[in-house]
């Protein structure tokens, strides 16, 4: 589903039977880019939010595998809080959007699927620099 801001909530369809649910993620199928990296966050603390950056080129899908948290997205004009609590939904972020993750529940596990390898030079970690870049 395309949202007002430049992100999409993607349905990650599960193959379910009495044994449970299985979700497959495939490049250029339900993931609209070549998957080059997957990382996950665990042992999170509700009082210690994460993120606080934007990416210049990287595309990502963020999935809440277990528990719940609030994803804050900010494109420099609007701010959206998305409560994520399902491994069957992903948030696709393709463009310059500031993101923060807050309010991790007990046992929250967050997985990110990324279009490229880790590259610190793709990060914008200063909100001031981000605001300058989006207003260009
Ligand atoms: P950081 O960007 O602070 O995590 P978050 O945005 O989720 O709060 O990353 C924490 C550390 O991990 C930092 O030193 C960079 C490093 N890192 C990697 O080495 N590889 C990766 O793929 C990522 C995402 C981070």
Atom from ligand 1 closest to the CA of residue 37 = 22
| Smallest CA separation from ligand 1 atom 9, residue | 51
For residue 11, pLDDT over 70 is answered with yes
C-alpha span between 103 and 70 (Å, rounded): 6
Tokens describing residue 34: 């070549």
C-alpha span between 106 and 92 (Å, rounded): 24
Which residue among the candidates 53, 55, 83, 102 is catalytic per the annotation? 53
Find out whether the beta carbon of 50 lies less than 6 Å from any atom of ligand 1: yes
Helices (H), the chain: 127-134
Torsion, Cα 60 9 99 106, to 10 degrees, reads: -100
pLDDT single digits (tens) 78-89: 999 999 999 999
pLDDT at residue 2, as a whole number: 64
pLDDT single digits (tens) 48-87: 999 999 999 999 999 999 999 999 999 999 999 999 999 9
Distance from the CA of 69 to the center of ligand 1, in angstroms?
18
């Amino acid at each position: 589903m395309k949202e007002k801001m430049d992100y999409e909530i993607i349905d990650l369809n599960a193959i379910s039977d009495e044994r449970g649910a299985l979700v497959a993620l495939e490049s250029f199928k339900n993931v609209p880019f070549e998957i080059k990296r997957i990382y996950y966050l665990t042992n999170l603390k509700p009082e210690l939010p994460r993120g606080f950056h934007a990416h210049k080129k990287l595309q990502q899908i963020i999935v809440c595998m277990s528990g719940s948290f609030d994803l804050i997205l900010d494109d420099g004009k609007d701010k959206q809080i998305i409560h994520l609590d399902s491994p069957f939904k992903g948030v696709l972020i393709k463009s310059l959007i500031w993101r923060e993750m807050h309010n991790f529940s007990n046992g929250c596990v967050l997985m990110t699927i990324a279009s490229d390898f880790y590259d610190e030079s793709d990060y914008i970690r200063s909100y001031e620099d981000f605001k300058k870049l989006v207003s260009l």
